[in-house]
Structure 1
């Protein structure tokens, strides 16, 4: 766990770790993979990666980009994590478009069929050989959710499938697609991000002795798990 004095300092620290993790993976293999997250902090991290001095050390043409979850809305909807990621990072670095793997939109080839859209992303993940990823970014919600894995909902109990449809998200919109705990736990490095006092209770619970199956407490990386907090989010520790 690391605690930072501001969101800006936190984002710079996360960017440093993402760049390092991808560069390390690329030094060992022909390609690397990064799971993106949305939200204010997640999007700010992507902007920090774009501006990071060491960003040029990463061969972005060899990096595959995936998403931890996505709102099932039209492709041009501003609330899509994909839209935020493109504006903050992907439109500004030399990526191979074929290596960007967004989750399906509600106006895509599967239409409004959420189950078919989730199944398609599940097959993509399997076909790309990515039952786990190199670096996974996860924002932590005020209720302790990560990706679209919410406390007490069925997606939290999935033990086999790497990707599932969510129809009952307590945060709008209710229809989403998400990675599941099994595939997240197979990621090499998992970085959890929490900023602001509204997250303090969830952070304290997740990092405490009695996490009560809180999603944020249930995720971990195969090699490394790091919580990145600002002072407000860490205020109840």
Structure 2
């Protein structure tokens, strides 16, 4: 795949430093190109170190936060103050510490009882910010990957993998908490840049299948993330990359 880039790092710290430099590069290029930077965040523990770096010098001042719009790739159906909330993770580690206008932090209201309505509301919010009636093209979507190759909240053998109309949808996944909202394949295939952060020995087998195996996105959902007009950058630690034949 010509638009795929792979780098392997010896630790989460060096990986996160590389990720911070990459985010800043993409942000600066986007702002020069079209006057703002649209960035969808992921949840989970892996990006926490990246978020902390972006909230501190020398990184923070390299981004014009007045021109940044923050979204999420998925969210657990919990209140925003919950320890399971991806929004809370990003707020605690980064967004509360940088000079970004509150109106440019676009939270998924996944705790709403009517999850279809919450999904539609987030779709409308994205379209409003992007000024489009179609599929928004993010400057950067940050993603992780689970041991079963799920990404965002798209899990193997689930109907969400076949979704082509909705941009956001409710799902129930085999991992607590099961109820989630997630961006769908059309959105994950539209960005200018995707950044995967993947760490841990428990991901090594899935990494090998996603990167070097035959295309089978129903079994390995992360394979769906192949932007038609963009590129995908994978940052692995040595454990996650341990089964790859080619590590660069």
**Normalising by the residue count of structure 2, what TM-score does the alignment of the two structures yield?**
0.90
Alpha-carbon RMSD across the aligned residues, in angstroms, is 1.3
Partner of 1:220: 226
- Choose from 129, 132, 137 the match for 2:142: 137
Q: Contact conserved, 1:16 with 1:49, CA < 8 A, in 2? A: no
Q: 1:61 to 1:191 in 2, by over 3 A?
A: same
Alpha-carbon distance in structure 2 between the residues aligned to 1:116 and 1:216:
26
SS for the counterpart of 2:55 is helix
Cα deviation for residue 201 of structure 1 reads 0.8
Greater mean deviation of Cα atoms: 79-88 or 157-166: 157-166
Q: Contact conserved, 2:27 with 2:63, CA < 8 A, in 1? A: yes
Q: Contact conserved, 1:63 with 1:99, CA < 8 A, in 2? A: yes
Partner of 1:112: 113
The answer to whether residue 31 in structure 2 is matched with residue 29 in structure 1 is no
Alpha-carbon distance in structure 2 between the residues aligned to 1:128 and 1:103:
14
Equivalent residue runs for 1:164-203 within 5 Å: 164-166=169-171, 168-203=172-207
Q: For each residue in 1:55-109, what CA deviation from the matched residue of structure 2 results, as whole angstroms up to 9, or x when unmatched?
A: 3121101100000000011121111000000011101110010000010042xxx
Alpha-carbon distance in structure 1 between the residues aligned to 2:85 and 2:215:
30
The answer to whether residue 99 in structure 2 is matched with residue 83 in structure 1 is no
Alpha-carbon distance in structure 2 between the residues aligned to 1:6 and 1:220:
26
Q: How many aligned positions are there?
A: 232
Cα deviation for residue 30 of structure 1 reads 2.2
The answer to whether residue 18 in structure 2 is matched with residue 17 in structure 1 is no
Partner of 2:124: 123
SS for the counterpart of 1:40 is coil
Q: Contact conserved, 1:3 with 1:231, CA < 8 A, in 2? A: yes
Q: Which runs of 5+ in 2 are unaligned?
A: 1-5
SS for the counterpart of 2:223 is helix
Alpha-carbon distance in structure 1 between the residues aligned to 2:80 and 2:46:
22
Alpha-carbon distance in structure 2 between the residues aligned to 1:65 and 1:48:
17
Q: Contact conserved, 2:110 with 2:180, CA < 8 A, in 1? A: no
Cα deviation for residue 52 of structure 1 reads 4.9
